[in-house]
Amino acid sequence: MGISTNSTCLFLVVIGAMSLAGLPSNTAAQMIVAHRGASNDAPENTLAAFELAWQQNADGIEGDFYLTADSEIVCIHDDSTKRTAKVELNVESSTLAELRSLEVGRWKSPKFDGEKIPTFAEVLATVPQGRTFVIELKSDHKIVEPLVAALARLDHANIKLLVISFDEQTVTDCKKRLPNVEAHWLTSFKRKAPGLPYHPSADEIAAVVRRCGADGVGMKSMPKLIDQAFVSRLHAGGCPAFHVWTVDLPTDAKHFQSLGAMGITTNVPKEIRAAID
């Protein structure tokens, strides 16, 4: 029996789809996320850094958030203000008013003098429609309920939210209380001695992701460890997506792009945008 032209076309489409099935997705256009804002050029976790990230055409921003003594959510990386304010206050033991009295831009450059520790609401307000807000929760799971209340109160229509945390319980609680918001468990890698395997392994990561109901994992950038075989094991184990931090070298960005990373978090969004677009 002869094969019709339509049958031949259908056959070719099926074969083409099968050949692409094993390839990583989104290899052409990863989400570029500005780590603590455009933190190479502006003081990290300040409104200046976040606004600059949007000017540099980042797809998203990542900020770090703690709960204050009076249950407000503020944007700062360390549990102390010493490094960026040159005055030492414990963030979780201080009130919003006490933290807002500090100046946190001058350490980077005199031109940023006057920057304050921003609130969650202030950072969210910088995010344009269609862009992404990556929310790293630095406090433990006690921050989840205040976050739920803040998101219920604040306008975030047409903004993609991604909650991330190193704390498994925090991720678990986020998925229970905010089931429609994506959440990634975060991990770095360690080994007991040179030559021994790094942990967690891909299988161990996938097990945590399944256990806490996360939508994926955020991994510290280790290009020699995170290769196609590693990513394949993640997917096989039930981890559907991953992002990486902190990627400032174009060669590393291209490596993770080829593996199908959903996001590349960087201090230099302008440079990484130019490298992978």
CA-angle at 255, arms to 51 and 50, nearest 5°: 5
- The two three-digit tokens of residue 227, written as one number: 């290769």
Q: Residue 35 CB: number of other CB atoms within 10 A?
A: 29
**H or E element that contains 54:** helix 47-55
- The two three-digit tokens of residue 110, written as one number: 């005199």
**H or E element that contains 61:** strand 60-67
Strands 73-75 and 60-67: antiparallel
- Give me the DSSP letters along 248-272: -SHHHHHHHHHTT-SEEEES-HHHH
Distance CA 3, CA 135 (A): 55
Q: Please indicate whether residue 184 is annotated as part of the active site.
A: no
Strands 132-137 and 216-220: unpaired
- The two three-digit tokens of residue 133, written as one number: 């807000």
Torsion of CA 168, 173, 174, 178, to 10 degrees: 160
Going by C-alpha positions, the residue among 123, 127, 106, 35 that lies closest to residue 72 is 123
Q: Please indicate whether residue 235 is annotated as part of the active site.
A: no
- The two three-digit tokens of residue 220, written as one number: 């510290």
Q: Which amino acid is at 44?
A: E
Task: Give the catalytic positions in this structure.
Answer: 35, 77
